[in-house]
Amino acid sequence: MAKNNLRFGYHFIRYSLAAGCAVGLAGSYCAYQVVHAVPEGPVPAGYALGTLWALGLEAALFIAVFAVFAARNLAKRVKVLADALNHGADGDLTCRLDTGSDDEFGKLHRNFNVMMEQLAGVVSRVAQSISELQKIASDIDQVSKKGLTSAELQSEGVAEASQAVGEINQSVQQIAKWVDDLSGSATDNASAILEMSASIEQVNQHVDTLSLAAEEVSSSIIEMTAAEKQIGASAQSLLGEATTASALVAELDVSIKQVGENALHAAKISDVVRQDAQNGAQAVEATISGIGEIRSSSRSTVKAMQNLSLRAADIGKILLVIDEVAEQTNLLALNASIIAAQAGEQGKGFAVVAHEIKELARRTSSSTREISEIIEGVKEETTSVVQAIKASEERIAEGELLSQRSGEALRKIVDGVQDSAPRVNEIAQTTEEQAKLSENMRQAMDRVAEMVGQIVRATREQGRGSEQIVSAVERMKDFTAQVRSTTRSQTATSSHIVHATEDITQMIRNVRRACEEEAESTKQIVRAMESIRESSLTTVEVNRIMDGAVTGLSEQVKLLQQKMAGLAV
């Protein structure tokens, strides 16, 4: 409606000026004809009448146009409109024009007021959007800092876990070395125990022989003199065998003590392995907890990015409205320029107004394009950040799965070590008891050797009397009975030692298998730690990108605030 009213006033003034020009040309033509057509004599009545009509009509049109301009007070009203446009161009959107008249200027004033109100509303909405953008940028900045802190904590946890895994791997290698040494010691102990069993069997045979000889001596004391040499030879042989048996028992004692020390060493190793495995499990649980916190931070960041995209879309809609207002303003400037051109000298002020309107429209369009570019940049950055966070979440899920597998492997290792620890302690206790028994056996063999020496000396002193010989024979019977009992007990003990050694060998094999499984588990943990480290680096990079995007957004918001600060609503 406003455009039609302005167009009517514009056409009226243009047609009036054209009609005045046409009438002036017609009057000039008639005057020329009057002067040149009849140079001498009286002027024809027709020419004179036409000239008078043309001059009168031209004068009437001039008077009408002048009356219209005078009635409208065109110059003053154009100055008022120019001042209002200058205020608007300076950023004062609160200025309003009087809309009391119903002519074209009154309609132009009303259109100007409507334009100022629309611009003020747009500026208010843009200011609200800027406040929302500041709040969103602050939230994103906080989320980015939290994500960066979580990523750094995860990186530190991964480094600590990697160090713990390295220590566990070294412990596993040391344990494997100790297990190999223990296996060799167990093999040597088994060989020594077999030799000891054979020696004990041989001592049994000699003790039986000695017992038979004592019976023969006690039953045939008369034949003692005749058999003195034979008894001396037998006693000498028995002394040699007793010495050999004593040496073997001493070796057995040393082997048993070595087995005990190895068993205690294995128990300590089991405790160290259990402690290292528990530390590794705690590190893995801490890593899983850190991954959960990073996933929560990533989801919060994605939500904030989506909200930012929605706000950017709303700002884009507002920019479309601003662009439409700028187009209307440009059209008003074009109409004002045409009116100023038709008004001549009196339209110069109106031309200034048109120029100011056009400049205001140009600045508005330029600001709209800049804001649109900023919004598009924000959309692209938010899309890149969301994609990077999604990729990071996939890496985080893989790292969490690998950490859970590593935790299960460490728990299996802890369970295996806890199961083997009581067995190793039982072996150590059994070995300690066997050491005590071997000590008793060694003392008994020493006594046997001493008794055999006494027998040898007794055979040499045979001439001192039969009573001494009988007494010596009786003592020899007692000693042989003790030796027989000790050798039988030692035989049973050696059998127990053989079984215990077999159990130790089997447990050593189990420990070796556990070490191999633990080595494989540490390799998996190393791979998992590597994946988690890559994920941590990706997360840190994403947070840095997001921090840069937030910084750019804050700078653009500050720039937009500076531009909006010059507009008074």
Per-residue pLDDT tens digits for 134-173: 777 677 777 667 766 766 676 676 667 667 666 666 766 6
Q: Is the pLDDT of residue 418 over 70?
A: no
Give whole-number Cα distances, 62 to 7, 11, 13, in Å.
22, 17, 12
Residues in the chain: 569
Tokens found for residue 472: 């010596």
Confidence of residue 5 (pLDDT cuts 50, 70, 90): very low
Q: Packing angle between helix 228-343 and helix 2-37, nearest 10 degrees?
A: 40
| CA-based nearest residue to 273, from 527, 510, 526, 529 | 510
Task: Tell which phi-psi region holds residue 388, choosing left (phi > 0), alpha (psi between -120 and 50) or beta.
Answer: alpha
What's the pTM value of the predicted model, to 2 decimals? Answer: 0.36
Per-residue burial over 288-315, b = 16 or more CB atoms within 10 Å of its CB, e = otherwise: bebbeebbebbebbbebbebbeebbeeb
Share of the chain above pLDDT 90, in %: 0
From 3-12, 66-75, 319-328, 341-350, the region with the lowest mean pLDDT:
3-12
Q: What is the per-residue pLDDT for 515?
A: 67
Q: What is the per-residue pLDDT for 529?
A: 67
Confidence of residue 225 (pLDDT cuts 50, 70, 90): low
Tokens 């929605």 locate to 310
Do 361 and 333 contact (CB within 8 A), yes or no?
yes
Contacts of 342 (CB under 8 A, 6+ apart): 10, 13, 14, 17
| Domain locations along the chain | 1-72, 156-321+368-565
